[in-house]
Amino acid sequence: MIAQSIGSIIKSFVDGVVVLNDTLHILWYDLHPVFELDLIEGQHILDHIPLKREKLIENEKFTLTLNQKKLTIEVKKFSSESDYIILCIEDITNLIENQKARLYCLEKIMDSLGEGVMMSDHEGRIVLYNHAQEKLEGLESQEIIGKHLWSAYNYNPQYSEHKHTFNTGKPIFSRYRAHSTVNGVPRYVNYSTFPIQRDGDTIAVFSVSTNESQLKDRLHQAIEQKRQTIQSSESGSQHFNNGTSFTFENIKGKSFTLKNLILEAQNIAIHNTDVLIVGETGTGKELFAQSIHNHSPRAENPFVAVNCAAIPETLLESTLFGTVKGAFTGAANQIGLFEYAKNGTLFLDEINSMPLTLQSKLMRVLQERLVRRVGSNDVSPVECTVISASNEDPIKLIEEKKMRLDLFYRIAHTSLFIPPLRERTEDIIFFINYFIEKHQKKFNKTVPGLSKTLQSALLQYPWPGNTRELEHLIENIIIQTSESESEINIDHLPAYLRNKLVSKSSSKNRKQKEMTNNPFKSIFSNSQEHYIQRVLDQNDWNISKSAKMLGITRQSLQYHIKKHELKKAGTKKDS
């Protein structure tokens, strides 16, 4: 009875089981008919299976061929009132019924795929991470498997796409984003995420990432040829037939940050995916949006822009979605901007100003890729790509209930963060000289250079209006300055700025205030790395809390983490 109970339990894990006593006589067995073994209880096992006796004495696992079938036999020992030897038999050639063997084969197939595959369980722990995914992200499976996604990739679990898909049961298609970095360089992948459901319940979530390096190389070549053609034929301002005026050639600056940002934007342009651009007022969000459109496969199609903050909510809905006659008083048959953009790009500027009620309707349009005119029951497919822009941190907006989290998932298939001008000192110097030259030509006027005192003051100014404010300032200075003067000094500044920079003492007081309110601004570049690392460690690498302490945005902190290749204590830097 004991032998039968032991065998029945083990049988659920293997194809067949044979229980022997210490003299190797058969006490009980349960075998699949495919084995074609006529065993008899009480007989010696060696009368039926050609085994070496010593292999049955020790705990071993071995293979043998019997009746033209390849079997694995694992020997186990069990002691109770008597000693038992248990033979666990598997037919490793029967892939239809042997789930263990079939699973082994499927795992081998998974590792041979060219596409990256990653799967997480109900707790968000990574349980599958194949070789292709390792190559795409530059990570190793043994360091990833078993960790929560947000721990492996260092982000807030609230924004986990796998967690969102698990909870909603809805897939997320065609994202282009970097979750990992190698030597400070983000590793972008194009991926989609799907739920795995059984009996109506989601049991796991997996993502499939594609390796598009060859396609990207070919498209980069095409982009470069196009850039060279535009550059060689450029004369004055550019105007294209698609509703744009700018390409990446118009994005000026010398800083390492800006050059990396342009490369990142060009990578995004290659993929026909929705993107969210985040940056303060005057950083050039529409400039980047138009450049992305003009260097993408949809460049020949319309670029349609709308400022969500400039249009009342009632009009914004009909502007985006269109109307039918009679929908409301004065309504006429009119297509919305989603339809007007066709196969091009719809640019939603200042989307952070969109009311929550309209955000819900926009989210549904982006999710279903179908638009319904106001007052109509008919739907039309959304064929355009959507580029959104926000002048506020979307994470902060979500926390303050000003932006829906599900809308964020829809508009931010990938994100582009434009750092403010005050964090790019090299670009401040560049733009001062660039705008002076530009507006001297515009006004046909030659002006003297800037005094050292003024240059120092302009470098210390926080530039809340960023590049736009700096250009307006330089234009104003050139208008106000006489060609006979020896140099441009603080007296030539507009009153609003001159009052802030009127003396060294006021500048010093402002700097001390900045050091108190924003300690990050008081650090020189050679000590930034150590200070940021210390703040992150102090807050246990809570990005939001650390960014608040440093006085910068989450995206800016993420940039500095990548720039300095910072790692949480106990982890190794990528080599």
Residues with Cβ within 8 Å of 441's Cβ and at least 6 positions away in sequence, in order, are none
How many Cα atoms sit within 13 Å of 22 on the Cβ side? Answer: 6
pLDDT at 370: 92
**Of 154 and 225, more confident:** 154
pLDDT tens-digit series, residues 103-131:
888 888 888 888 899 999 999 999 999 99
pLDDT band, very low/low/confident/very high, at 526 (cuts 50, 70, 90)? very low
User: What pLDDT is recorded for position 272?
Assistant: 77
- Rounded Cα distance between 443 and 475, Å, is 9
Laid out side by side, the sheet with 172-182 consists of 126-129, 116-120, 201-210, 185-198, 172-182
Token digits for 350? Answer: 């200042």
The single-letter code of the amino acid at 53 is R
Task: Give the single-character DSSP code of 35.
Answer: G
Mean pLDDT of 496-503: 68
**Do the strands 414-418 and 126-129 form a parallel or antiparallel pair, or are they unpaired?**
unpaired
pLDDT at 200 over 80: yes
Q: What is the mean pLDDT of residues 406-418?
A: 89
Confidence class for position 211, pLDDT limits 50, 70, 90: low
Pairing of strands 61-66, 26-30: unpaired
Q: Measured between alpha carbons, how far is 532 from 11 in angstroms, rounded to an integer?
A: 58
Token duo for residue 521: 């601004």
pLDDT tens, position by position, 224-243: 555 455 444 444 445 578 88
pLDDT above 80: residue 551: no
Which candidate, 493, 495, 469, places its Cα nearest to that of 481?
Answer: 493
For 305, phi then psi, to 5°, come to -115, 145
Segment 535-549, tens digit of pLDDT = 888 888 888 888 777
Mean of the per-residue pLDDT values for the chain?
A: 82
Residue 470 scores a pLDDT above 80: yes
Lowest mean pLDDT segment, chosen from 69-73, 265-269, 349-353: 69-73
Placement of tokens 């929908």 in the chain: 327
Looking at residue 279, its pLDDT comes to 93
- Where is pLDDT greater, at 571 or 54? 54
Q: Evaluate if residue 558 carries a pLDDT over 50.
A: yes
Task: Report the distance separating Cα 8 and Cα 271, nearest Å.
Answer: 56
Please report the pLDDT score of residue 238 as a whole number: 55
Least confident span in 135-144, 217-226, 248-257, 518-527: 518-527
Give the sign of the dihedral formed by CA 141, CA 142, CA 146, CA 152. Answer: negative
pTM score: 0.59
Please return the burial class of 82, using the count of CB atoms within 10 Å of its CB with bins 0-12, 13-18 and 19+.
Answer: exposed
Model pLDDT for residues 389-409, shown as the tens digit of each residue: 999 999 889 989 999 998 998
**Which has the higher per-residue pLDDT, 186 or 72?**
72
Statement: residue 185 has pLDDT above 80: no
How far is the C-alpha of 365 from the C-alpha of 388, rounded, in Å?
Answer: 14
Residue 516 has pLDDT above 50, yes or no: no
User: Residue 523: pLDDT band by 50, 70, 90 thresholds?
Assistant: very low
Greatest mean pLDDT among 52-66, 104-118, 321-335 = 104-118
